[in-house]
Chains A and B, each alone.
Chain A
């Protein structure tokens, strides 16, 4: 029994370790030898990709969250606040665990909500939290913000290496949830919940745990963000952009996958920079809106889906010849 378990686990790991290695190599080489401008950009991409993975894990169970920013901010604030009392490692451990607990409770509360109700409640949550941060200003520093610990003394290269490692951690978690049984369960939960229930899948438990994991990952991204620049204010930590860009990335790259968000993160950033060159420093994010619209109407499987289709066409043609 034990051997069968480990063989199953080894199955997905055996397939995915190549992707981790590639991300590690590319990211590592960029961090150590790349131009500082690209190091800076990649830092942003990494954080957004972790958020995109967090969103995607939740979206697989049909829970489309518009409030990723909420847990991002919770992670940033909790680690920053606790740092004074618990040091770096302690604040991260306790801060992220706290965020996971809040996510589990919130996921439990939102169970009865579906589709648009769920979306609006999560969005409203992310918009209500900066108010909490402002009101609790003795703890959170209010509008003036809070200064968390800065990692590696602000050395962007080492910070990027750290973020790449955490990105790989997020990828591992995402792949774990993409194991065959879990993937099928998530698919059933999102498209045929009654069938899922009658098949014996613990729907409630799965949805809540997924919410907790997703919230935890988002909080991790938030903690990372705080540790980069050492300054958190409510409008920044809970900015709706942290909710929107992750799902734009996941849509663009390909939902229900781990590589999708990675591809999407890089491509979207490239598109943003190109548009910024064309249009100027404000309004350039219309490309994000355009990407979302195009992906939904023309490319629902994202870039990854497009590539898979192309590969399949090519192999079909090759087989015929």
Chain B
């Protein structure tokens, strides 16, 4: 356990946090504005990952480009899902909303199993070069995730805080009735937040595709972890999302690198930390009470 290995592990964990932060920010946005927990968000990520995979395998398209394509495609898909299905759920009771999106998640996961088969797939990206800073090795795909994650995160912050659409969404998020009386089309704010959240999920899928194995259930575990990050760091708090992502990613990275056979149960450590955060501060680290 030398200084180099510690730094190496930290660097890689921070880069991976970009993936979780993107997913978590998307969830946080949707959650903050619509108050709907979209359990199927992970499945949008999964679909983005498959899209990136097939674009690369069939047409040799670079993940940097596919991230943009996924962004648009999955954003469009989530718009369709919203119009067809979710606006109905908006009127249902709260606990039914949770169950409904969970049902959607199961539906999408199994559809993917049916269409893509459950075989594990992985992208070998020779086109992403590896860099070396001193003794620290940064593989190209980790760098991609770090860069993309940062770009997505900054883009999201810009969208939310500097555009009029962002203002619309923030007003709906903090007080939807008041927003409505102020002339905000709340329904459009809901749809917008959903589309943006879905678009970022698609981009996150590209990041996932270059980093991990791709299979139909990949959305489930990543999705629930991102949810736990969002909830533990405070709903609707996009800065909180990156904080939570960093905590979880660093914890997992440390455990899997330095504890014997830690890799097999590192993912559980993240959940344990998040669970304890929730038990002791139910509104999350940076959350506001509402």
Instruction: List A contacts of B113 (CB < 8 A).
Output: 282-283
Q: Is the CB of A292 within 8 A of B100?
A: yes
Instruction: List B contacts of A57 (CB < 8 A).
Output: none
Complex CA gap A124/B244 in Å reads 15
Q: A115-B98, A282-B114 are in contact. Are A121 and B278 (CB under 8 A)?
A: yes
B282 within 8 A of A: yes
Complex CA gap A284/B110 in Å reads 7
Complex CA gap A283/B278 in Å reads 34
Q: Is the CB of B272 within 8 A of A289?
A: no
Complex CA gap A20/B96 in Å reads 30
Q: A124-B224, A282-B118, A283-B111 are in contact. Are A289 and B98 (CB under 8 A)?
A: no
Complex CA gap A123/B268 in Å reads 12
Instruction: List B contacts of A293 (CB < 8 A).
Output: 85, 100, 103-104, 107
Q: Is the CB of B114 within 8 A of A115?
A: no
Total contacts A-B at CB 8 Å: 130
B106 within 8 A of A: yes
Q: Is the CB of B103 within 8 A of A296?
A: yes
Q: Which of A123, A251, A280 has the most CB of B within 10 A?
A: A123
Q: Closest CB of chain A to B44's CB: distance in Å?
A: 15
A244 within 8 A of B: yes
Known: A120-B278, A135-B265. 17 other contacts (CB 8 A): A64-B99, A112-B282, A117-B231, A120-B228, A124-B224, A130-B268, A134-B265, A247-B99, A251-B99, A282-B117, A283-B113, A286-B106, A286-B109, A286-B110, A289-B108, A293-B107, A296-B99
Q: Is the CB of A113 within 8 A of B106?
A: no
Q: A124-B271, A282-B118 are in contact. Are A143 and B224 (CB under 8 A)?
A: no
Complex CA gap A84/B99 in Å reads 40
Q: Is the CB of A296 within 8 A of B106?
A: no
Q: Is the CB of A128 within 8 A of B272?
A: yes
Q: Is the CB of B107 within 8 A of A121?
A: no
Q: Is the CB of B92 within 8 A of A143?
A: no
Q: A116-B37, A124-B275 are in contact. Are A290 and B107 (CB under 8 A)?
A: yes
Complex CA gap A130/B264 in Å reads 11
B90-105: which residues lie under 8 A (CB-CB) from chain A? 92, 94-96, 98-100, 102-105
Q: Is the CB of A291 within 8 A of B103?
A: yes
Instruction: List B contacts of A117 (CB < 8 A).
Output: 231, 278, 282
> Which residues of A are at the interface with B, using a C-beta cutoff of 8 A?
59, 62, 64, 66, 109-110, 112-113, 115-117, 119-121, 123-125, 127-128, 130-132, 134-135, 143, 240, 244, 247-248, 251, 279-280, 282-286, 288-293, 296-297, 300
Q: Is the CB of A131 within 8 A of B269?
A: yes
Q: Is the CB of A110 within 8 A of B279?
A: yes
Majority SS at the chain B contact face: helix
B109-143: which residues lie under 8 A (CB-CB) from chain A? 109-115, 117-118
Q: Is the CB of B271 within 8 A of A127?
A: yes
Instruction: List B contacts of A296 (CB < 8 A).
Output: 89, 92, 96, 99-100, 103
B88 within 8 A of A: yes
Complex CA gap A101/B99 in Å reads 28
Q: A121-B275, A134-B265, A289-B104 are in contact. Are A283 and B110 (CB under 8 A)?
A: yes
Instruction: List A contacts of B108 (CB < 8 A).
Output: 289
Complex CA gap A293/B220 in Å reads 18
Instruction: List B contacts of A290 (CB < 8 A).
Output: 103, 107
Instruction: List B contacts of A282 (CB < 8 A).
Output: 113-114, 117-118
Instruction: List A contacts of B144 (CB < 8 A).
Output: none
Instruction: List A contacts of B153 (CB < 8 A).
Output: none
Complex CA gap A296/B227 in Å reads 22
Q: Closest CB of chain A to B92's CB: distance in Å?
A: 6
Instruction: List A contacts of B104 (CB < 8 A).
Output: 289, 293
Q: Is the CB of A64 within 8 A of B114?
A: no
Complex CA gap A106/B170 in Å reads 35
20 contacting pairs across A/B (C-beta < 8 A)? A112-B282, A119-B37, A121-B231, A124-B224, A124-B274, A127-B271, A128-B271, A130-B265, A131-B268, A248-B103, A283-B111, A285-B106, A288-B110, A289-B107, A289-B108, A289-B110, A292-B99, A293-B100, A293-B104, A297-B89
